[in-house]
Structure 1
């Protein structure tokens, strides 16, 4: 099952992130002093050895500073670099042409604007990059499926828009009743990229706590209230919630504005659309109600969950995309060997949206 190999790496990144954060926090003054000294030496080199020290080397200092310094320290270094370049221009350094002066000035302004954006997200200097990795791994860990009885398997594939590091689609899974019940929630958060990924991380933690604490028929209502309480500007999400009784194969499914699940019947090869459309998305209205469907996974059957990024078609409606997905599922899954990745590959969905496919199999 996907995600089971993430735990050692997650711990490694967490330790590296903590160490880098401590090191960077204690050394900002030292780093600024070193980089300011480098700028001063560069000024001397440009005046004394212009053939070895071009003024464009100031860009290298700015690039290094973006990775190492926080906003305030970066602004200090930017001011020093600007003072050095404009001072050389006034001094009449022969190698400082107007084009280089303009490029260095733009680079300083752009680097400070970039650092301000990262600071707004709580990402400062090199530790911010490690923190992003840590957040991404924590999001993957929330979707890790617990060990299941023999004959049951869950396969998932989640891909972000434009191969970004963060996705607005995520899965939460858990068991209850001593491992006899498996619950899976597939969520599609509004938006894409880092902003959606941060909301996904917050929701996955909250939904993971709700999943084991509430009866199945109360979960989506509680999740809806949680989103309303956040008061996000772009704060809605679609979700589909499935609960399986593992000994019998009986399942219960309910959705909130999410595309319907698909069941493949191994005996007949028939594909059924479990239509639970009718409930609003989470975080839209306070009076949330959903109509559940019940079914059973017989031996060899597959239940497929997915997000709208898999079935949306440019210039077409959602039904056309679902028909295309069912055709792919019939071709890929009928032999009993197909994977979630194979379904995504067969659909050829555009990469401008987050996409997720989850397959629950009963052997």
Structure 2
């Protein structure tokens, strides 16, 4: 072997080894399902050869359908070709070919073609069937975990809820919650990512993780500043988001509230029975560098409540945001006698439109704690 042969064959051998390793990994992961589907197809084709009138060509659609659920995107096209070959074998033993038979054959091949096209689209992700579904469930749970309210002192109650447009599992509205290591403060952030439903789900996943890390790593006055810089670095075509950030001292009830292009928070004052809007200036995240975010400070007294939400809760086609805030505040006042039990879910169910994502957080400082 010459030096040139060694130079050429070395990379070629490494590429061949890499290709065989990937191929072996894919085949091994699909092997049990593939063996079953091949045997099922062989049984169907064999039955069709023995009993031509009892086993139509459309029976092969059963293993094709199961393959679309079980096999990975690299294995699926080859199995579909194998199954369609079985259809051709069944057609060859037909005593006569009628127009109905031709129609059935065309339908089977069209379904097979659509299955192959779908597998090529799935190959961008690399997983399919139960594995793909479990991965998406895991991603959905990760978003939900970012908004899980940490354990709080007995005098504090925080209720939260989110709902995606159309009832999908992914949406553009999410919640981030983080409590300080010494337990003295808690950060609560409500975010509305551009888009809605599944379209905004991928950005929500990325931002929920990033914002969750920021909430526990930076000071309250830096959170929206750093979140804005992070979004600017992504350079998304529609990479903007609105957010509202509450920094709450659990010992005193004092809070700092900042927002970025987001609807204002609503503060219910238990002493007077009135409510007020906590508005502050701040641009939408991801649109302009060197942004500044105004802070609003206050102190929650016993039985006071503070509500943060996204526009999907207060704004509809027939209701502007101002009227929506009035309606939200009125509904919150009606829930005061209940102690705001499951208030967030009730408010979203009563006020939010199903055509838009919605998220809501209600913070309540209890006046008295029952002891037994």
2:209 corresponding residue in structure 1: 205
RMSD of the TM alignment (CA)? 2.4
2:59 corresponding residue in structure 1: 57
Indicate if the aligned counterparts of 2:253 and 2:299 stay in contact, CA closer than 8 A: yes
Q: CA separation of 1:28/1:122 partners in 2, compared to 1, >3 Å: closer, same or farther?
A: closer
Task: Decide which of 185, 188, 191 is 1:184's aligned counterpart.
Answer: 188
Is 1:281 aligned with 2:284? yes
Shift of 1:362: 0.4
2:317 corresponding residue in structure 1: 314
Shift of 1:35: 2.2
2:34 corresponding residue in structure 1: 32
| Matched residue SS, 1:269 | coil
Shift of 1:110: 2.3
- The separation in 1 between residues aligned to 2:340 and 2:95, in whole angstroms, is 70
Indicate if the aligned counterparts of 1:184 and 1:241 stay in contact, CA closer than 8 A: yes
Is 1:74 aligned with 2:87? no
Shift of 1:64: 0.8
Is 1:172 aligned with 2:176? yes
- The separation in 2 between residues aligned to 1:208 and 1:304, in whole angstroms, is 20
Normalising by structure 2, what TM-score?
0.84
Is 1:233 aligned with 2:240? no
Q: How many residues align?
A: 340
Shift of 1:249: 0.7
Is 1:105 aligned with 2:109? yes
- The superposition leaves residues 276-326 of structure 1 with CA deviations (integer Å, 9 ceiling, x where unpaired) of 2x4222112223221111111110011101111111211443223222222
Shift of 1:238: 1.1
Indicate if the aligned counterparts of 1:160 and 1:167 stay in contact, CA closer than 8 A: yes
Task: Decide which of 241, 250, 253 is 1:249's aligned counterpart.
Answer: 253
1:44 corresponding residue in structure 2: 46
Q: CA separation of 1:304/1:71 partners in 2, compared to 1, >3 Å: closer, same or farther?
A: same
Structure with max Cα Rg: 2
- The superposition leaves residues 80-117 of structure 1 with CA deviations (integer Å, 9 ceiling, x where unpaired) of 22333245445546687223222222222222333333
Shift of 1:266: 0.9
- The separation in 2 between residues aligned to 1:29 and 1:69, in whole angstroms, is 9
Shift of 1:195: 4.2
Indicate if the aligned counterparts of 1:159 and 1:354 stay in contact, CA closer than 8 A: yes
| Matched residue SS, 1:97 | helix
Indicate if the aligned counterparts of 1:303 and 1:361 stay in contact, CA closer than 8 A: yes
1:304 corresponding residue in structure 2: 307
| Matched residue SS, 1:71 | coil
- The superposition leaves residues 6-33 of structure 1 with CA deviations (integer Å, 9 ceiling, x where unpaired) of xxxxxxxxxxxxxxxxx98624245334
1:329 corresponding residue in structure 2: 332
Normalising by structure 1, what TM-score?
0.86
- The separation in 1 between residues aligned to 2:88 and 2:119, in whole angstroms, is 23
Structure 2: 5+ residue runs without aligned partners? 1-24, 367-372
Q: CA separation of 1:334/1:260 partners in 2, compared to 1, >3 Å: closer, same or farther?
A: farther
Q: CA separation of 1:91/1:123 partners in 2, compared to 1, >3 Å: closer, same or farther?
A: same
Shift of 1:45: 1.7
Q: CA separation of 1:331/1:87 partners in 2, compared to 1, >3 Å: closer, same or farther?
A: same
- The separation in 1 between residues aligned to 2:312 and 2:300, in whole angstroms, is 26
Q: CA separation of 1:281/1:106 partners in 2, compared to 1, >3 Å: closer, same or farther?
A: farther
Between 143-152 and 107-116, the greater mean CA deviation after superposition: 107-116
Q: CA separation of 1:129/1:24 partners in 2, compared to 1, >3 Å: closer, same or farther?
A: farther
Structure 1: 5+ residue runs without aligned partners? 1-22
Q: CA separation of 1:87/1:193 partners in 2, compared to 1, >3 Å: closer, same or farther?
A: farther
Indicate if the aligned counterparts of 2:146 and 2:176 stay in contact, CA closer than 8 A: yes
Is 1:357 aligned with 2:357? no
- The separation in 2 between residues aligned to 1:42 and 1:27, in whole angstroms, is 25
